[in-house]
Structure formats: structure tokens, C-alpha cells
């Protein structure tokens, strides 16, 4: 019975490729009381640094993970339990904990591999998680890919069937950019939903993906059950055009790193591997042309020209707007653009990649939005 009062804090699995992570610092000390969602321990992977948050309340009884030490995914790095659980039981729990092997963990998660689907916009890559009755489709932004939802897709899979795709020209999808810029991508999103027989879905769009999702919801009334717009494009004219130009032109690690650092409130989150992965994408034949065509289609004189805010008024679906207060790409002031039409939440301490930097808060907001 005691097992249910003792909750393990384990090395998380952020993304398919993660096999181990390094504990870089404890934000709580043994004896501290912890509420759900509070940050407990900092962890760094070869892709990105992040924070493990409490999924259940209690007292931090053991901080096992040593700083600067690497642990496999699901290894026990801490123990949370109620204050009245005896010390001996905690010790027995720690002594008896067996880290599931990578293979077992993989089986539990039921085939979390990437898949591909043929659509009118070409072959698109996607990931699918969860089995819920509701469906969520996650749509990344300019130059991004489905791994931008690394910290979200598994958490949301508890509530719904979640899809995350690589838009045309992005990630490992076909590199040919459909005609019509952002509108073309909105048609590609609907084509993706058709190909997978997704009749209706909650669309969650980040940055340019917010404008793509809004245009798709408009073009096919009834297909979108709700919209969640995160740091979204299309809600105002201001944009950091220097970022877009820098991202398109950067061909080396030294050029790209300072550009990508602008995406985060905490630039130290940008690891060597994150920059390397972006360079590997940008080097693929066809990517430069796709990014140049796309940025040319949605920017004019350094301002956004695909504006979707007014079209939202006509849509009879719930809209949630989420922003990082320290967004250096699209100003957080745009969160107020919808002025009563949407719930708006501006999250402090986060930049443009708010869904990565404050993942659990964003997951909570999306979860409540799609179930409420």
C-alpha cells in the first residue's frame, strides 16, 4: 500500500531519441513541500536543457540524482512522498527500484516512431500518440518541425489522440513549398487531416503555425473544434524580421547559434546539438529555396502581411492565445489583439518557444482548453 504514497521522480524522456540525461541542479531540497507543477530538478540532454516538474504533490524525501551525473531515462533521481511515510519505507522503495530497460519502456509507449503519409502537398512526416476520443493536431512554426513539441506531445496524449506534423518544406517532409505561402500551408494541413481521416481536431499552432491553423479553420468550417495560438503569427504586423532573415541565411554554426538564441528567454537552453540538428535540416537540398519562398510570402518590408485576427471573429469556436512574456520574435502585446474574442495567457520567464520553456504550464492550458 505504501507504494502509492511514494512517488518516484525519474529521468524524463523528452523526445524519441533521448536515452539518457544529466542532472544539472536541484531546485528543491529534501524536506521541501512540493505542489503539482512546481519545478524540482534541472536536466540537460544533448538536445536541450529543461526542468522536471512535480506531477504529484508531497514532500521531496530524497534527492538521489547527483549534479553533473548522467542517468538513463526512467532512472530514479528523487522521491516524493507524504511527510508521514516512514524513512525505512522510503529507503526500501529506493533500494527496490528497478529502472525499466530502454526496450521495455519503448514497448510501453506503443510504437512512438515517426510515420509518413502521402498528401497532395507531398510526403509528410508525423508523430502520433495517445488514443483519446478527441484529436489534437500540433502545427509548428517557420523553420521548425514536430520536435518543437518534444515536451508537449506525450503530456497531451493523456487527454487526446495527438498528431504533430512536419509542414511541407520542413523537418523530414517533402521540401517543395506549396503555392500561396501560409495559405498554401493551411491547405496542406487540411490535406494532411484528409489523408489520415481526421474529421475534426483541436488545432494548436505555434508562431507561423498559428496563422496556418487559423487559415485552415476558416477555409474548412467545422474541421477545427478549437484553436490554440502560441506566440502566433498573423495577429499583428510587428515581427523580428532580422530573426527570419538571419535564420534563412545562416549557413554555419557561428552564424546560426546567436539567431536561434533569440527564440528563448534563457539562451543557455540552445545546445550544440540543437544548432547542429537545425544546420542538418537547412543543408538539405530544397530547404533554402523553401524558406526563402515562404518568408517572402508572409513578410513585406519587414512586417507581417498574412493577418488573420479579423477572420477569427467569424469563427464560432473557442480560441486560446498563449504567449511568452519575453518573446523576442513576435511581441507578447499581440496576445491582446483578439481583445475578448479569446482567452489570453502571457507566461512570464519564457520567450518565443514558450511551449518548450514552460511546457507544463502550456500543456495544462491546452489540456483545459480542449477538454473544457
Partner 1 sequence: MARKISMKQAINEALDLEMRRDPAVIVMGEDIVGGAGSPGEEDAWGGVLGVTKGLHAKYPGRLLDTPLSESAYIGAAIGAAACGMRPVAELMFLDFMGVCFDQILNQAAKFKYMFGGKAKTPVVIRAMVGAGFRAAAQHSQMLTPVFTHVPGLKVVCPSNAYDAKGLLIQAIRDDDPVIFCEHKNLYGHEADVPEEAYAIPFGEAAVVREGKDVTIVSYGLTVHRALEAAERLAKERIEAEVIDLRTLSPIDWDTVLESVETTGRLVVVDEANPRCSIATDVAAHVVQEAFGALKAAPQMVTAPHTPVPFSPVLEDLYIPTADAITAAVSKIAPRAMAA
Residue numbers of the site for partner 1 (CB under 8 A)?
114, 116, 125, 172, 175, 251-254, 272, 276, 280, 283-286
Pick 116 or 292: Cβ nearer partner 1: 116
Q: How far is the CB of 285 from partner 1 (least distance, A)?
A: 4
Cβ atoms 287, 144 nearer than 8 A? no
What's the grid cell of residue 108? Answer: 510501453
Pairing of the two strands 201-206 and 224-230: parallel
Q: How far is the CB of 41 from partner 1 (least distance, A)?
A: 22
Pick 167 or 337: Cβ nearer partner 1: 167
Tell me the backbone φ, ψ of residue 147, rounded to 5 degrees.
-70, -10
3-state secondary structure of 272: helix
Pick 29 or 280: Cβ nearer partner 1: 280
Q: How many Cβ atoms sit within 10 Å of the Cβ of residue 118?
A: 11
Whether the CA torsion 56, 59, 60, 62 is positive or negative: it is: negative
3-state secondary structure of 110: coil
Angle at 359 between CA 356 and CA 362, to 5 degrees: 115
Residue carrying the nine cell digits 483578439: 338
Pick 62 or 175: Cβ nearer partner 1: 175
Q: How far is CA 76 from CA 5, 70, 178, 274, in A?
A: 16, 12, 47, 26
Q: How far is the CB of 172 from partner 1 (least distance, A)?
A: 5
Q: Going by C-beta distance under 8 Å and a sequence separation of 6 or more, which residues neighbour residue 310? A: none
Q: How far is the CB of 271 from partner 1 (least distance, A)?
A: 8
Residue 25 to residue 30: CA distance in whole angstroms? 13
Pick 284 or 368: Cβ nearer partner 1: 284
What's the grid cell of residue 307? Answer: 493577418
Q: How far is the CB of 370 from partner 1 (least distance, A)?
A: 30
Pick 272 or 303: Cβ nearer partner 1: 272
Q: How many Cβ atoms sit within 10 Å of the Cβ of residue 97?
A: 15
Q: How far is CA 57 from CA 1, 62, 88, 113, 195, in A?
A: 18, 14, 20, 32, 42
Q: How far is the CB of 19 from partner 1 (least distance, A)?
A: 14
133-153 burial: b if 16+ Cβ within 10 Å, else e: ebbbbbbbbbbbbbbbbbbbb
Q: In what order do the strands lie in the sheet with 343-347?
A: 115-119, 122-129, 161-165, 135-139, 201-206, 224-230, 319-324, 343-347
Pick 93 or 247: Cβ nearer partner 1: 247
Pick 285 or 316: Cβ nearer partner 1: 285
Pick 16 or 317: Cβ nearer partner 1: 16
Pick 33 or 283: Cβ nearer partner 1: 283
Q: How far is the CB of 102 from partner 1 (least distance, A)?
A: 17
Q: How far is the CB of 34 from partner 1 (least distance, A)?
A: 32
Q: How far is the CB of 337 from partner 1 (least distance, A)?
A: 38
Q: How far is the CB of 253 from partner 1 (least distance, A)?
A: 7
Amino acid at each position: 500500500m505504501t507504494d502509492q504514497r511514494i512517488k518516484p521522480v525519474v529521468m524524463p524522456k523528452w523526445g524519441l531519441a533521448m536515452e539518457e540525461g544529466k542532472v544539472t541542479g536541484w531546485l528543491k531540497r529534501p524536506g521541501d513541500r512540493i505542489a503539482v507543477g512546481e519545478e524540482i530538478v534541472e536536466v540537460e540532454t544533448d538536445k536541450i536543457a529543461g526542468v522536471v516538474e512535480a506531477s504529484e504533490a508531497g514532500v521531496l524525501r530524497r534527492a538521489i540524482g547527483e549534479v553533473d551525473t548522467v542517468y538513463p531515462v526512467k532512472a530514479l533521481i528523487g522521491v516524493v512522498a507524504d511527510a508521514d511515510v516512514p524513512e525505512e519505507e522510503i529507503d526500501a522503495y529506493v533500494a527496490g527500484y528497478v529502472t525499466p530497460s530502454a526496450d521495455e519502456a519503448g514497448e510501453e509507449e506503443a510504437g512512438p516512431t515517426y510515420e509518413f503519409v502521402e498528401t497532395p502537398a507531398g510526403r509528410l512526416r508525423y508523430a502520433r500518440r495517445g488514443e483519446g476520443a478527441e484529436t489534437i493536431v500540433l502545427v509548428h512554426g517557420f523553420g521548425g518541425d514536430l520536435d518543437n513539441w518534444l515536451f508537449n506531445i506525450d503530456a497531451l496524449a493523456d487527454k487526446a489522440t495527438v498528431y504533430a506534423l512536419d509542414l511541407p518544406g520542413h523537418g523530414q517532409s517533402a521540401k517543395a513549398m506549396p503555392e500561396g505561402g501560409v495559405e498554401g500551408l493551411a491547405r496542406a494541413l487540411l490535406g494532411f487531416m484528409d489523408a489520415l481521416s481526421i474529421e475534426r481536431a483541436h488545432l494548436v499552432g505555434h508562431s507561423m503555425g498559428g496563422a496556418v491553423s487559423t487559415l485552415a479553420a476558416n477555409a474548412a468550417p467545422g474541421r477545427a473544434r478549437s484553436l490554440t495560438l502560441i506566440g502566433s503569427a498573423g495577429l499583428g504586423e510587428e515581427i523580428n524580421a532580422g530573426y527570419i532573415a538571419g535564420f534563412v541565411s545562416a549557413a554555419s554554426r557561428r552564424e546560426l547559434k546567436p539567431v536561434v538564441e533569440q527564440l528563448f528567454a534563457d539562451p543557455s537552453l540552445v545546445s550544440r546539438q540543437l544548432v547542429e540538428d537545425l544546420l542538418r535540416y537547412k543543408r538539405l537540398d530544397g530547404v533554402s529555396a523553401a524558406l526563402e519562398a515562404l518568408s517572402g510570402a508572409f513578410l513585406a518590408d519587414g512586417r507581417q502581411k498574412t493577418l488573420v485576427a479579423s477572420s477569427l471573429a467569424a469563427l464560432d469556436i473557442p480560441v486560446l492565445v498563449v504567449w511568452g512574456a519575453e518573446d523576442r520574435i513576435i511581441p507578447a502585446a499581440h496576445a491582446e489583439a483578439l481583445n475578448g474574442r479569446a482567452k489570453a495567457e502571457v507566461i512570464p520567464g519564457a520567450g518565443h518557444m514558450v511551449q518548450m520553456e514552460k511546457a507544463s504550464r502550456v500543456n495544462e492550458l491546452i489540456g483545459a482548453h480542449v477538454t473544457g
